[in-house]
Structures are given as structure tokens and as C-alpha cells.
A and B are shown apart, each in its own frame.
Chain A
């Protein structure tokens, strides 16, 4: 395919906008290897789209810059930094600061807090359970002591009555 015709299909624009299909992407990479002048045209198109976007630029709110800079500082501080292109096998819950009254914590804190809450609930359950058990035993013991005392009090009379009967 002639390079000019190929360029005029809008393939570079598709590539820059991310609309290119896998098959087209393979063909595009092959064409880049075959025709070095295609690189120049890619740059021209990219610059054209860049100019268009800059003409329509909208200033983001100031808080966005603060959040971005905070994330940069977080990265630089080693909070989530990693070198090279290998993505990390962990993520962070990034609590964005507002007037310095927020903190950032590692996601493992979530597991820790869940564990603490569950442990607290188990302990609460056990304490209620054993308290009720203790109250029940105490009640039984009081009842038993009462019966034993009554038995001891009236036992000699019963015995003497029995003896009399005999």
C-alpha cells in the first residue's frame, strides 16, 4: 500500500486517539518499520492533536494540583514508589489531604482494623456468655445450698419421726 494513501485513511489519528484495532496496530507497527518517514507524519499528527487540545485547555481546580503534588511527594517518600516499568503488586489507600487534617495509611491497616473489631466482638460475646454462665451456676449453687440447709434442719425430725413409727 502506498504510504500516502495509508496515511490518508486516518490511521495515525486512530492510533493517537487509541481507536486502532489489534490487527490494524500490527499492520501499523509493520509500516513504521518499513517506512521511516511515517515517524515524521506521526509526530506531525500528534502535534496537531496537541495544539487542538491546548486551544481547548481548561484549568483544573487548585485542589487537583495539591492532590497531584501530594501524590508525587508520597511517591518520592517511598510510600508507593517503585522503579522502572514493573507495576507494584500492592496498592495504597491514598487519603488525600485537605488542610493537613488527613493522613495516608497502608491498606494493610484495613485488615488490622477488621481483625481488631472482630476480636473485640468475640471477646464481648465471650464475656457476656461467661457472665451468664457464672450467674446461672451461682444461682444453682444458692438454690442447692438453700435445699441442703433445709434438709439439714428438718432431717433429725424426720429421722425421729421415722424411729417413732418403727
Chain B
């Protein structure tokens, strides 16, 4: 990677990516791969699958960079994060199907650190919603409650998440 490009801003990086600059593509990976990999291994605690997620995310990002500006996201990272979660949920396998050897130690992740502090019900809803990608309807059915109630629980969890972010990264 060229050194003069190492510190270019996000907008300049997007412009270069849209122009198909190969150096910008590498820079995109160098800049965001670590942060996204940290998220991916929380969602898919099997390293080989998390690797696949990262490969798919960056391949997708380069192909779809044209859609970034109309995505509604303000930062490139959020746009990539959304896709990382989407691919990771597809790659995720049931917890009971995992052996101990292949698991990555991921209890220290930001989101896991956040949700373990929540009351049990909120913790369960947040985990099923974010980590498992289940719909509100499915969660309501699993918990034997109404969708409205699950929505309320999730809202409380999101208020707590906002507070958690403000307390730690304001």
C-alpha cells in the first residue's frame, strides 16, 4: 500500500473506491478489517467462519460501493458493520453444534460486555435479536409473550445500550 494514501479521509477513500482504485481497496481492508473481525468473531465464534465473513464483506463492499451514499449511513464503518452482521448471522451455527476446540474466546466483546449487565429478560431478547438475528415475532413465540412486549423489552435494552456507549465512548 502506498504511504501517501494511508491517512486519506473517509470521503476521499470512498471516491477512490468508486473509481476502482486497487490501492484504495487495500486501504479499505487495512483500515476496517480489524474492527469488523472483532465484531464477526463475537457473532460467529468459529474462526474459519469469521474469516469467510470478512472475505465476503469486503468483496461485497467493493462491488457495492456505489450504493453507500444512498444507504442512509453517515460512516463507512456502519455500512460495513451492518453487512458484517448480516453475513455473520447467515454463517452462524447453533451453539450446541460447536465443540470447545473451535470456539474463539469472545466474552470480552463490547456487545457481550454490554448485554451481560442487562436483566435476564432484556439480555435474552437482545441476544436473540442481535446475535441470532431472530425476528420479534419469533422471539415472542419462543418466550411465550406478545410482540408488543418483546418490542418494549428491546426498547429498554436499546436505551441501556445508548447509556453504555455514552458512558464509555462519549
Give the B-binding residues of A (Cβ under 8 A): 8-14, 16-19, 21, 29, 32, 39, 42-43, 45-61, 63-65, 67-69, 71-73, 75-76, 80-85, 96
Contacts and interface: CB of A to CB of B under 8 A. Distances in A.
A43 B77 CA distance: 11
A131 to B, nearest CB: 49
Contact of B59 (A14, A16, A63, A75): A75
Given A57-B38, A59-B34, A75-B63, 15 more contacts: A9-B159, A11-B158, A14-B158, A16-B78, A19-B129, A45-B165, A52-B165, A52-B169, A54-B34, A60-B37, A64-B37, A64-B51, A67-B55, A68-B58, A72-B26
A37 B161 CA distance: 21
Nearest to B36: A53
A39 B75 CA distance: 11
Contacts of A50: 35, 75, 77-78
Contacts of B64: 85
Given A10-B158, A10-B162, A19-B130, A53 B54 contact: no
Given A19-B130, A58-B34, A46 B73 contact: yes
B81 A53 contact: yes
Q: Do most interface residues of chain B lie in helix, strand or loop, or is the interface mixed?
A: helix
Given A10-B158, A19-B154, A46 B75 contact: yes
A43 to B, nearest CB: 4
25 contacts: A11-B158, A16-B73, A18-B85, A19-B129, A42-B74, A46-B73, A46-B74, A47-B75, A48-B165, A49-B169, A50-B75, A52-B168, A52-B169, A53-B35, A53-B36, A53-B81, A59-B33, A60-B33, A64-B33, A64-B54, A65-B33, A71-B58, A71-B59, A72-B59, A75-B63
A75 B158 CA distance: 39
Interface in B22-41: 22, 25-26, 29, 33-39, 41
Contacts of A18: 82, 85-86
Interface in B116-170: 129-130, 136, 151, 154-155, 157-162, 165-166, 168-170
Contacts of A81: 63
Nearest to A12: B162
B39 to A, nearest CB: 6
Interface in B74-96: 74-75, 77-78, 81-82, 85-86
A64 B20 CA distance: 21
B34 A61 contact: no
A32 to B, nearest CB: 8
Given A46-B74, A51-B169, A21 B110 contact: no
Given A9-B158, A57-B34, A72-B26, A17 B85 contact: yes
Nearest to B59: A71
A92 to B, nearest CB: 11
B77 A53 contact: yes
